Amino acid sequence: MKAPALSPCLGVPDTQAAVDFYEKIGFTALPAGDDPNDDLRILLFEGEFALMVYREDQLRSWLPNLKETPVGAFGMFYLAVDDFDSYVERIRPLVTVQKDVFEHHGQKLFYFIDPNGYVIAAAQKQAW
């Protein structure tokens, strides 16, 4: 698997709870390494790298300048899906909707938040 040019790593209070949420909405979780004390997890979407989740205390220890940064950073992430309508229908009961389906410049978007406050927008996969 080829890593993307930019790889998000989200600090979360409970890595397993984050993994459980993302697996419910179609992701696959992998351990990031062989160290059982390292709680970093890699999440794939449709077999492709999507993001990493890392327990917040370990992330703050790894990068001390994040010590005071709250979980659920300002910003958002876009998730490109093959079949927008069926994906949104499947995950709608599993997520907290932030902004329901609407069109912007001809593209459908659906914003939701994960259990840690990160905003994710599902969007139809497209070529740039």
Tally the domains of the chain: 1
| pTM to 2 decimal places | 0.81
Question: pLDDT tens digits, the chain, 128 residues: what are they?
Answer: 666 767 888 999 999 999 999 999 999 999 877 777 778 899 999 999 999 898 888 888 888 887 888 887 667 888 999 999 999 999 999 999 999 999 988 889 999 999 988 889 999 987 76
26, 91 Cβ separation under 8 angstroms: yes
CATH of the domain at 14: 3.10.180.10
DSSP label of 34: S
Would you say residue 2 lies in a domain? no
Domain residues for the domain of 42 are 9-124
